[in-house]
Amino acid sequence: MEFHVWEPVYERILADFGFGRAADERARDRLAALTEPFDLDALPAFEGRTVAVAGAAPTLAGEAETAAAADRVIAASSAAATLRDAGIEVDVAVTDLDGVPEHLAAASREGVPVAVHAHGDNVDALEEWVPAFADERLLPTTQAAPTAHVRNFGGFTDGDRAAFLADALGAGELRFVGWQFDDPDVGELKARKLHWAERLLYWLETRRGERFVVLDGRREELRLPVEGRR
């Protein structure tokens, strides 16, 4: 996704949460300083493949067979550990280092590529954990303007960023496992982030001309993040 397409949506997110763009940019620049360029050609082929996009909801373990049946698997944060424990290969993990970064750092050293995301609230985590990842397996990402070798594929939470990454890599079909938008156990901030995640997936399916089953029964209540923006 070109940044000029993502930027109006990004600005809406910043305004909604009261986040500062400058903080995101500082985190992005620090991530750039801590990492090396990542070769996307080192990833397994995604073009035209069926890709399972795994979220970290408690339902994931029961949906592991659906993930196993896909050609490729992209997992959000702790979903990677759940799937790997079930014997399912994860092709790429996506994280902002919230949760279980030590598991993902270890997975990178075992050969799993990990997209590590910088934002204004995780600079300390970047400093602590980025050195623990295998350099050649770390794909640096940002939600601000891309710079140097830090990329922006679109997306806001780990889960929807995983879907946007799969799209950018040319996925033919996206299947969603381990997703739960209405989680009564999360706080208000997380609930708002989950609402943005479903809006962003609605936008992505509109752009792709695809219908994501995970949004069935929810579309009528959703609005595109920027009307008319494709």
Q: Write out the two tokens for 166.
A: 């799969």
**pLDDT, tens digit, 9 for 90 and up, residues 113-163:** 999 999 999 999 999 999 999 999 999 999 999 999 999 999 999 999 999
Instruction: Tell me if 101 sits within 8 A of 129, measured CB to CB.
Output: yes
Calpha distance 140→123 (Å, rounded): 13
Calpha distance 140→35 (Å, rounded): 7
Residue 186: its pLDDT value, please? 84
pTM, full prediction: 0.96
Q: How many CB atoms lie within 10 A of CB 84?
A: 18
Distance of CA 224 to the CA centre of its chain: 19
Q: How many CB atoms lie within 10 A of CB 141?
A: 26
Distance of CA 174 to the CA centre of its chain: 13
